[in-house]
Amino acid sequence: MPRKKKRKTIVYEDLLQDDFAGTHIRQKKVDQNFPYVRTGWIWRVCSWLLYYFVAIPIVFVISKLYLGLTFENRKALRALSDSGYFLYCNHTHVLDVFVAPLLAFPKRVYTVAGADAVSIPGLQHLVLLLGGLPIPTERSGLLVYKEAVFRRARENSCIAIFPEAHIWPYYIQIRPFGTASFTYPAQFDAPVVAATVTYHRRRGLFRFCKRPGMRVYVSDPIYGEAGQPLGARKKFLRDQVYEHMCKTAAECENMEYIRYVPAEK
Three-class DSSP labels, the chain: CCCCCCCEEEEECCCCCCCCCCCCCCCCCCCCCCCCCCCCHHHHHHHHHHHHHHHHHHHHHHHHHCCCCEEECHHHHHHHCCCCEEEEECCCCCCHHHHHHHHHCCCCEEEEECHHHHCCCCCHHHHHHCCEEECCCCHHHHHHHHHHHHHHHHCCCEEEECCCCCCCCCCCCCCCCCCHHHHHHHHHCCCEEEEEEEEECCCHHHCCCCCCEEEEEECCCECCCCCCCHHHHHHHHHHHHHHHHHHHHHHCCCCCCEEEEECCC
For residue 1, being part of any structural domain is answered with: no
For residue 3, being part of any structural domain is answered with: no
For residue 214, what are the β-bridge partners? 199
The confidence score (pLDDT) of residue 207 equals: 76
**What CA–CA distance (Å, rounded) separates 131 from 111?**
6
For residue 2, being part of any structural domain is answered with: no
The confidence score (pLDDT) of residue 265 equals: 67
The confidence score (pLDDT) of residue 107 equals: 96
| pTM of the predicted model as reported, rounded to 2 decimal places | 0.93
The confidence score (pLDDT) of residue 24 equals: 64
| Residues 195, 88 contacting (CB under 8 angstroms) | yes
> Does 106 sit behind a cis peptide bond, omega within 30 degrees of 0 on the bond before it?
yes
Dihedral of alpha carbons 234, 178, 249, 192, sign = positive
The confidence score (pLDDT) of residue 4 equals: 53
Domain region containing 32? 8-262
Task: Indicate the number of domains in the chain.
Answer: 1
The confidence score (pLDDT) of residue 206 equals: 78
The confidence score (pLDDT) of residue 23 equals: 61
- Segments in the chain below pLDDT 70: 1-6, 22-25, 265
The confidence score (pLDDT) of residue 22 equals: 65
The confidence score (pLDDT) of residue 2 equals: 45
The confidence score (pLDDT) of residue 190 equals: 93
What CATH code is carried by the domain that includes residue 91?
3.40.1130
For residue 64, being part of any structural domain is answered with: yes
For residue 134, being part of any structural domain is answered with: yes
